[in-house]
Amino acid sequence: MQRVVPGGVTISDMHGLRPRPESVARVNEEVEVAVVQPSPGDERLAVLWPSNTPLPARFEGETSSQGNQLLLVGPRSAANIQALRECLPWLRPQVLGLQTSAGFGDRLGLATPGHIRALRGVGGNIAPIFAQQSIREMGRTRRSPRQVVDDATWGIFSSGWREPFGADADHLKSRADVEECLPVGYTFWTIDPGDEVDVEAETAPVDVLSRKVAELPWTELEDDLEAFRRRYDAAYEVDGVGRLEMNETAALRAAAKYGRAVALTSQLYRLLRERLGAHGWELEVAVDETQPVTTPLEHIYMASELRRLNVNWVSFAPRYLGEFEKGVDYGGDLADFEPYLTAHAAIARQFGPYKLSLHSGSDKFSIYDIAARQTRGLVHLKTAGTSYVEALRALATVDPNLFRELYAYARDVFPQARIGYHISGRLENAPAPGDVADADLPGLLDQPDARQVLHVTYGQVLTHPSLADGLLTALRTHPDVYAAILDDHFARHLKPFASVTTP
């Protein structure tokens, strides 16, 4: 390695620092930075620079003299991570556009190195979003938007990733949610107006639909009832799908069901544009966390209304046909799902183009080939809790006793934790902790009921002081075990999308 100054040494030359080789980087010709591990499980920042040169940013830590150089060793702190972002442009999130992409949720802040290993392993044209956690999950895990972005940044730095990546402020439902995330530097904003979706409209008779539509917030929609009726007395020719008739009942149902969601999306979009300007960020619209399925005609209604309101978006997550339960494969008939997805993909190309987003996309292995093929690469795969569950597999491998304790606690709190989740996992079907040998504990993560028990209890586990501390310590002490497990797991997610070329 080229020396930082003539006759000087590099961080890699220094005894006891144990730098991660991928992390070593130059800020300029004179300043070197790296992640170092003075002891197992203890990651720190090292900065080395000539003693007659000022630092390019406000790093914090203890400074010592190394001949004609200075060495700072500091914590994995918000201040040091911000200083790294100021010095290294590739650590700043970017807009990814229509490129095939994948979001890697990380409830622990330790998964990014494993995500990067998987991406590097599959190759291809997948743009990553490494910083991603829903506002709901942040509340349950007591993390802040800043922590989510900082933890991902540290993982990117330690792994030497220098390609573009995004940061997702995920499932924001209100102005307050947006305000909380605005100072952090997110580039991908997921608006979730699902609470405004009218579930009753799914089955309501025409007279009720008419009343619901008449009561929509027409001022916020910049519209009126008569203009709406004229606009949707229409048929749509969708390439590869055919003619879709928007009759009166279909139009009323679409508006009653999604009109208020459109209004909220428009309001939050305008807030973002006011604060962030017109460039440097992109929008995703998500109505996936509702029970009624989004029909192709309802998709057309939402796309048409958002476009009329001058909302620009890059990705849309409808409520798909079938079941997208947490932590397990797709539940539904693939013979029905493929033509259904084909229609939505065609609409996204024709009314955008924009990407279809697969939310709760973790572990839906049976639909990945269909989604990659039918979207022609205009797709965003969003994963979340699966990285946490695979962290528990790593824990079961390196500390069986702690895993048993955690699993027993998860079983105790599962009845409360499952509220709000649409899952089929049953506690009585999950093996008891004492019935499984140590060597077989990692395999519990492949048993659907046990996997869902562990999946949805993350909030209780990660706010339990001894369990959370024990889990994080085990993962920090054995980072390569966790990264290898994530590499294997996410390779299965990413391979179907890696060879698809976005038009």
Q: Summarize pLDDT for 48-57 with one digit per residue, the tens.
A: 999 999 999 9
Computed over every residue of the chain, the mean pLDDT equals 96
Active-site residues: which are they?
170, 284
pTM value surpassing 0.85: yes
What pLDDT, on a 0 to 100 scale, did the predictor assign at position 255?
Answer: 98
Residue type for position 171: H
pLDDT, tens digit (0-9, with 9 covering 90-100), for 397-454 = 999 999 999 999 999 999 999 998 889 999 999 999 999 999 999 999 999 999 999 9
pLDDT, tens digit (0-9, with 9 covering 90-100), for 324-334 = 999 999 999 99
Long-range contacts of 6-13 (CB under 8 A, 24+ apart): 7/67, 7/68, 8/50, 8/66, 8/67, 8/68, 8/69, 9/48, 9/66, 9/67, 9/69, 10/48, 11/36, 11/46, 11/48, 11/71
Question: Do the bridges between strand 282-286 and strand 188-191 make them parallel or antiparallel, or are there none, so unpaired?
Answer: parallel
Q: Is residue 342 pLDDT above 70, yes or no?
A: yes
Give kind and range of the element (H or E) at residue 45: strand 42-50
**Residue 503 pLDDT grade (very low, low, confident, very high; cuts 50, 70, 90):** low
**Residue 15 pLDDT grade (very low, low, confident, very high; cuts 50, 70, 90):** confident
pLDDT, tens digit (0-9, with 9 covering 90-100), for 182-198 = 999 999 999 999 999 99
Pairwise CA distance, residues 149 & 320, whole Å: 29
φ/ψ of residue 481, rounded to 5 = -65, -50
pLDDT, tens digit (0-9, with 9 covering 90-100), for 55-77 = 999 999 999 999 999 999 999 99
pLDDT, tens digit (0-9, with 9 covering 90-100), for 412-421 = 999 999 998 8
**Residue 502 pLDDT grade (very low, low, confident, very high; cuts 50, 70, 90):** low
- Adjacent-strand bridge partners of 234: 246
What pLDDT, on a 0 to 100 scale, did the predictor assign at position 2?
Answer: 42
Residue type for position 463: T
Q: Is residue 499 pLDDT above 90, yes or no?
A: no
Question: Distance between alpha carbon 76 and the CA centroid of its chain, in Å?
Answer: 22
